[in-house]
Amino acid sequence: MISRRALLIGGGVGTAAAAAAAVVERTRVRRLLGWTGPDGVVPDVKPVTVSVTQHQSVARGCAVDVVTMNAVAGYEVCVVLHGRGNNARGMINLGLPRFLAAAKARFTVVAVDGGDSYWVPRSPADDPQKMLREELPGWLRSAGLSEPRAVLGISMGGFGGLVYARQAGIPAAVLSPALFRSWDDARTVGAFADEAQWASFEPLRHPLPPHFGVWCGEEDPFYDAARDLAPHAQMAAFDHGEHTDGYWRRVLPNALAYLGAVL
């Protein structure tokens, strides 16, 4: 069977390519008819405080930005893992500081640059998970903050967030998690060295965190894989929506409410 992810990527030929075109066209028509759901709106409120610092990450072999939002002494910390093609500052553009203000969130959010390798090692010289485990806690302590007690992951960050949450034993909220049911799907993104490396990290092939919530749109190419998470999740919400900022803005209030409850 050809997966929805493979179809939307259009990696096949012949029948697969025709089927992919049909799926893309169907989604386009649904969008035009307003059947993919409304875009979320950034709240028109004063944002929480935001600071940006830069640290040299030995684990990643480069300098990384750390964006801290709503830093208040005594607050628990939730780390945010961005999607592919994005970075820590992109969480500001998404509107997260205003969403936190509107939610009257009583926790701190910290976003950090993770590259584009699905938050797993692209090479021994670039290991985002090692950065999260071994370096980020020290950077937070130097800022007077505690270690992360939860993780919010978006798209690629949902993949990395579930890996991190399982290893750290913390709750997770994942929006449109970019998961893969098969190596044929996973290999299309070019982020993994080989099938063995992908399988060693793929959240669907390992025990999931005991506490997590998942949100995904029905028109999202990762919808089928996200549905596989639902039986194991504390919170699972699926509605019309694509793999876009508009969808993530729509569901962020619910995700932040979930995180506030588990923190």
> Is the domain of 108 the same as that of 30?
no
Claim to verify: residue 77 and residue 97 sit in the same structural domain: yes
Asked if residues 97 and 47 have their Cβ atoms less than 8 Å apart, the reply is yes
Q: What angle do CA 86, 199, 204 make, to 5 degrees?
A: 75
Asked if 10 and 86 sit in the same domain, the reply is: no
Q: What is the pLDDT of residues 197-215, one digit of tens each?
A: 999 999 999 999 999 999 9
Q: Give yes or no: residues 3 and 110 share one domain.
A: no
Indicate if 184 and 105 belong to the same structural domain. yes
Q: Encoding tokens for residue 70?
A: 């709503």
Clarify whether residues 4 and 97 are in a common domain.
Answer: no
My answer on whether 208 and 96 are in the same domain is yes
> Is pLDDT of 151 > 70?
yes
CATH of the domain at 121: 3.40.50.1820
One domain for residues 118 and 71: yes
Mean pLDDT score, 125-144:
97
Q: Is 66 helix (H, G, I), strand (E, B) or coil?
A: strand
H or E element: which one contains 223? helix 223-229
The reply to whether 11 and 61 lie within a common domain is no
Question: Taking the model in full, what pTM does it have?
Answer: 0.90
Q: How far apart are CA 253 and CA 181, in angstroms?
A: 28
List, for residues 22-37, the tens digit of each pLDDT value: 556 666 666 665 678 9
**Count of structural domains within the chain:** 2
Q: Are residues 87 and 197 in the same domain?
A: yes
Same domain, 52 and 115: yes
Range(s) of the domain holding residue 27? 1-35
Residues 11, 95, single domain; the answer is no
In this structure, is the dihedral angle defined by the CA atoms of residues 246, 250, 254 and 260, taken in order, positive or negative?
positive
